[in-house]
Amino acid sequence: MSFWTNERIEDAVLICEDLCKSYPGLNKPVLDRFCCQIPKGKIIGLLGPNGCGKSTLIKLITGLLVADRGEIYIDGKRRSEKTNALISYLPERTYFNNWMRVEELLTFFAEFYEDFDMALARKMLGELQIDTNAKLKALSKGTKEKVQLVLVMARKAKLYLLDEPIAGVDPAARDYILQTIIGNYNPEATVIITTHLIYDIEPILDEFLFMGFGGKVMLSGVADEVRNEKGKSLDELFRECFRYTPSADSFGR
Amino acid sequence: MPWKFNSHEAVFLQIASRLRGEILRGKYQPDQQIPPVRQLAFEAAVNPNTMQKALTVLEEEGLLYSRGTVGRFVTTDRSVLALCGERVRREAVHRLVEEAFELGITKEELLRYIQEEGGVEDEKAAGDPAADGGNA
């Protein structure tokens, strides 16, 4: 299993060592000595309840946040501004300027990222029937998310970090997004997807990691193997792993 | 359209039974090449490694064989197809009978229901592609 081996795996695209992160105003650290090793060429689900530190981890990897302690290596190199070029990141929220047109965003991405595949982006926008002349502020929340995902997936990156890629879009677009991830599957690249919509995402995963509070690894492994061994879907295992038990008192009397 | 899966059975086994059904129904004819792993994975919206595993199951059953790097083909061995078809049909009937007994339906009642149902004879579900010529 790739997440918890003590020995370094050879083809790791991402290594996290003893990552710690606390926020002021929170008693407990969001990440407490989090370690993982993620190999190349895999689609990986980073799955956990709200507030367990998934997005914090992603932001540490992208350099948007700085860890209190610990090291991150990307494709064998210590995390830096340079390694950012290897990462294609889909944030939880869209960050585009509302006054821009989709067309302008395309140009922006093409200028900013050497690995941006304009033809692929146009093809995907066409398949999703998105008007590239539209201004972003005229687009619905879901459509903006689709545009953003297209831009992120149209890069030829080593590591894709998709933070909640399917949460805000309709089921048909969800299917399209999952197929896009599969269709762009490249043996050299790894895709890390955070989500709590496990049922939707689980067929496309190679491996998964259940993250509990403090970034604790509750369960991880190869999706097919764990499903076979336990005779349950990841969705069911997740519900068991993170069950909240309401007490009768909480409903008043 | 991505394929739908239930949550009690391993996904690769569910894929294998779906593809097995398609082969037995003649969607893919003996000696016909099936689409490459990546394309099937894309259509189903499943991980390519999961698709690979499902195809390995069908290879082990002898329904598919691979020609080196060219790809995978449906077996030309009619006895393998016939045997596999027989197994799938028996399993289907077995499930039906089990469910009926769980509902407290007696054997006689079940037979009567099947006769009343009619129309079943018209559908050659899971038939031998060699016998009915297939409908690909």
Interval A85-136: pLDDT, tens? 999 999 988 788 889 999 999 999 999 999 999 999 999 999 989 999 999 9
In a domain, B105, yes or no: yes
With a CB cutoff of 8 Å and minimum separation 6, the contacts of A95 are: none
- Which residues of chain B are under the pLDDT cut of 50? 124-136
Choose from A179, A193, A208 for mutation: most chain B CBs within 10 A. Answer: A179
Q: Are residues B19 and B62 in the same domain?
A: yes
Q: Are residues B15 and B60 in the same domain?
A: yes
Nearest to B53 by CA among A42, A210, A206: A206
Among candidates A183, A206, A228 on the partner chain, residue whose Cβ is nearest the Cβ of B47:
A206
pLDDT at site A4 = 54
Q: Are residues B94 and B52 in the same domain?
A: no
Confidence of residue A250 (pLDDT cuts 50, 70, 90): low
pLDDT at site B135 = 43
Interval A6-32: pLDDT, tens? 567 778 999 999 999 999 988 899 999
A202 pLDDT above the threshold of 60: yes
CA distances for A63 relative to A56, A83, A89, A126, A145, angstroms? 10, 10, 11, 32, 22
**CA atoms of B3 and A236, how far apart (whole Å):** 19
CA triple B98-B118-B82, angle to 5 deg: 65
pLDDT at site A103 = 95
Domain that holds residue B95: 78-124
**CA atoms of A14 and A2, how far apart (whole Å):** 11
In a domain, B63, yes or no: yes
Q: Are residues B65 and B105 in the same domain?
A: no
Q: Do A235 and B7 touch (CB under 8 A)?
A: yes
Q: Do B48 and A185 touch (CB under 8 A)?
A: yes
pLDDT at site B133 = 42
In a domain, B135, yes or no: no
In a domain, B66, yes or no: yes
In a domain, B115, yes or no: yes
In a domain, B89, yes or no: yes
B39 part of contact set with chain A, CB < 8 Å: no
Q: Are residues B61 and B89 in the same domain?
A: no
Interval A45-88: pLDDT, tens? 999 988 889 999 999 999 999 999 999 999 999 999 999 999 99
In a domain, B2, yes or no: no
pLDDT at site A133 = 94
Q: Are residues B104 and B86 in the same domain?
A: yes
Whole-model pTM: value is: 0.81
Among candidates A199, A203, A228 on the partner chain, residue whose Cβ is nearest the Cβ of B47:
A203
Among candidates B1, B5, B42 on the partner chain, residue whose Cβ is nearest the Cβ of A203:
B5
Choose from B4, B8, B40, B42 for mutation: most chain A CBs within 10 A. Answer: B42
**Residue with more model confidence, B19 or A224:** B19
Q: Do A185 and B38 touch (CB under 8 A)?
A: yes
Q: What is the largest CA-CA distance in chain A?
A: 62
CA triple A168-A170-A176, angle to 5 deg: 105
Q: What average pLDDT does the segment A155-173 reach?
A: 89
B46 part of contact set with chain A, CB < 8 Å: yes
In a domain, B3, yes or no: no
Find the closest chain B residue to A206 by CA distance: B47
**CB contacts, 8 Å: A204 with chain B:** 45-47
Find the closest chain A residue to B45 by CA distance: A179
Give the strand pairing for A12-21 and A69-74: antiparallel
Domains in chain A: boundaries? 12-243
CA distances for A72 relative to A20, A38, A84, A173, B110, angstroms? 11, 11, 12, 33, 64
Contact (CB, 8 A) for B88 and B25: no
Contact (CB, 8 A) for A131 and A143: no
Nearest to B131 by CA among B89, B79, B95: B79
The architecture of the domain spanning A12-243 is 3-Layer(aba) Sandwich (3.40)
Q: Are residues B65 and B19 in the same domain?
A: yes
Give the strand pairing for A207-211 and A43-47: parallel
DSSP per residue, A166-226: STTS-HHHHHHHHHHHHHT--TT-EEEEEES-HHHHGGG-SEEEEE-GGG-EEEEEEHHHH
Name the DSSP class of B77.
-
B45 part of contact set with chain A, CB < 8 Å: yes
